[in-house]
Structure 1
Amino acid sequence: MTSVRIMRQQEWARPVRPARREVLSATPELDEGRPPLLFVPGFGHGAWAFAEHWLGHAASRGFPAHAVSLRGHGGSEPAPKAPLRAYVHDVVQVAAGLPRQTVLVGHGAGALVVAHALARYPARAAVLVAPVFHGWGVLGGALRRNPAGTLPALVGGRLRLSRAQLFSRELPEAEARRHVVRLGRASRRAQWQVLTGADPEPAVGRPPVLVLGSPDDRVVPAGALTRVARRYGSAPLLFPGMGHDLMLDARWREPVDALLDWLEKAPAAR
């Protein structure tokens, strides 16, 4: 048997600075021993994006549910110069502090953070929701659909996603506006690293991975969902008629129930 040892010299020479992190939680009334879920929002979103619906719903089905705001997001400590690996560090640290082997659930660029975290934390399973992975493919679609909001991100400005990109027309306008005004921004460095970074390393322990998305997502093309799912040996589970923010859209129950149904049947990580 060949032993592979991964040396991450940068993490030894320049460790990630500790940061105060916001974690929101919902726990079931009766602990049935189910694995905890750790939700990781995409860039610009905080833990609030999952606290709106999915945390409480997961808890109502018996899963302890937690959502972390990556540094610089939500109620976490500001971090305007954080690299992508600092976000990965946040996820690994929170997951390691939970009482049982955790299921990591990432949305958007948060799914990329989860993919990198899987190489450092032996997750029970992982779910990638509307994943934004490294490369320029997603950016090309964003430039076509929302050039005014996307171009500033190429020069270090804020990536501004539109209501039409994030939500379906089914979501009431007032509710959509309430979510859009809460959006923040990722660090300039992390935004650039999403475009230019290396692919995630193989996951520790070969956890089962589910990819969720919508063929009508105006941020992540359907082809990108298929490519990410193939990376993990599966096909994406699709929810037509929904926007990029599946956890906040009008039919938010459908994807989270599918996620929880899958977890009840998914094999343990090997």
Structure 2
Amino acid sequence: MTERVMRSWEWARPVRPVRREVLSAVPELEEGRPPLLFVPGFGHGAWAYAENWLGHVAARGFSAHAVSLRGHGGSDPAPEATLRAYAHDVVQVAAGLPRRAVLVGHGAGALVVAHAMARYPARAAVLVAPVLGGWATFGTAVRRNPLGTLPAVFGAGLRLNRKQLFSGELPDADARRHAARLGRAARRAQWQLLTGADPEPAVGEPPVLVLGSPDDRVVPASALTQAARRYGSAPLLFPGMGHDMMLDARWREPIDAILDWLVKDPSRDDRG
């Protein structure tokens, strides 16, 4: 029996269309592999993946695309955006790709991916250093970063510092350059991240990989374990790395692990 999910509010109040920035890198030889769609965390744009991961993914034979959520990067401004609008951005971009995509979300972008999977039949999903929201996330954020978290409750932007985002291996010049590009998410989306309900179940139960670092100063190791258990697995850990794994000094290790998993995972469907 097929369960039908009715979302009458989406018909009554459709998401406002925007122009979205999408950065891409494609392999020289098309081998029919599923495309990867990368979703940045709050404050980050598609640039965060274009720095290292997009070209590396294409060099390994996969098409790679990164979207800037509305209000981020080069996408249209959206000061009143919600998690629902961010998930809509992901679904719309994924639906425009020639094959069913693998959705890869980082930080709060992992929560956006989890919401998008309830509306899009993803080939697979990868949650990188996932911030999956709720009061537990809020409590952890306040304990670890009170000066950067509490102002967000009153409408200011979430603020993360260099030690939270990157390991000591990343040169200071690179850390400052990346940090200077950070923006902010919409106030409503930030509040929903801190207090929101769990996403709806994914369409088609795609395989999900969770990875992160036990030394992440944003997402504790216990949260990685909890996120992986939600999808029936254990987290893949990379000690010594910071929260922004795609920009950190050892950025090749997690993306190679992701691509190896996609190639070898026995539950991956080779159709469409």
Partner deviation per Cα, 1:226-247 (whole Å, 9 max, x = no partner) = 1110010000000000010000
| One-letter identity of the residue aligned with 1:174 | A
Aligned to 2:29: 30
Aligned to 1:268: 268
Find the residue that maps to 1:3 and give its secondary structure: coil
User: Normalising to structure 2: TM-score of the pair?
Assistant: 0.97
Q: Which runs of 4+ in 1 moved over 3 A?
A: none
8 Å contact from structure 1 (residues 138, 221) kept in 2? no
The alignment status of 1:102 with 2:101, answered yes or no, reads yes
* CA distance in 1 between partners of 2:263 and 2:17 (Å): 34
* CA distance in 1 between partners of 2:7 and 2:196 (Å): 15
* CA distance in 1 between partners of 2:198 and 2:64 (Å): 28
* CA distance in 2 between partners of 1:38 and 1:98 (Å): 9
Correspondence 1:185-264 to 2 at 5 A: 185-264=184-263
| One-letter identity of the residue aligned with 1:218 | R
> How many equivalent pairs are there?
269
Identity %, equivalent residues: 80
* CA distance in 2 between partners of 1:181 and 1:141 (Å): 25
8 Å contact from structure 1 (residues 127, 211) kept in 2? yes
User: Normalising to structure 1: TM-score of the pair?
Assistant: 0.98
| One-letter identity of the residue aligned with 2:153 | L
* CA distance in 1 between partners of 2:201 and 2:139 (Å): 27
Find the residue that maps to 1:206 and give its secondary structure: coil
| One-letter identity of the residue aligned with 1:101 | R
Unpaired segments of 5 or more residues in structure 1?
A: none
| One-letter identity of the residue aligned with 2:12 | A
Correspondence 1:1-270 to 2 at 5 A: 2-266=1-265, 267-269=267-269
Partner deviation per Cα, 1:113-171 (whole Å, 9 max, x = no partner) = 00011110001100000000121223323323322211111111011110000000000
Once superposed, what is the RMSD of the aligned Cα atoms? 1.1
* CA distance in 2 between partners of 1:27 and 1:3 (Å): 36
* CA distance in 2 between partners of 1:109 and 1:52 (Å): 19
| One-letter identity of the residue aligned with 1:31 | E
Partner deviation per Cα, 1:42-79 (whole Å, 9 max, x = no partner) = 00000000000000000000000000000000000000
Unpaired segments of 5 or more residues in structure 2?
A: none
8 Å contact from structure 1 (residues 54, 256) kept in 2? yes
Find the residue that maps to 1:246 and give its secondary structure: coil
8 Å contact from structure 1 (residues 108, 130) kept in 2? yes
Find the residue that maps to 1:225 and give its secondary structure: helix
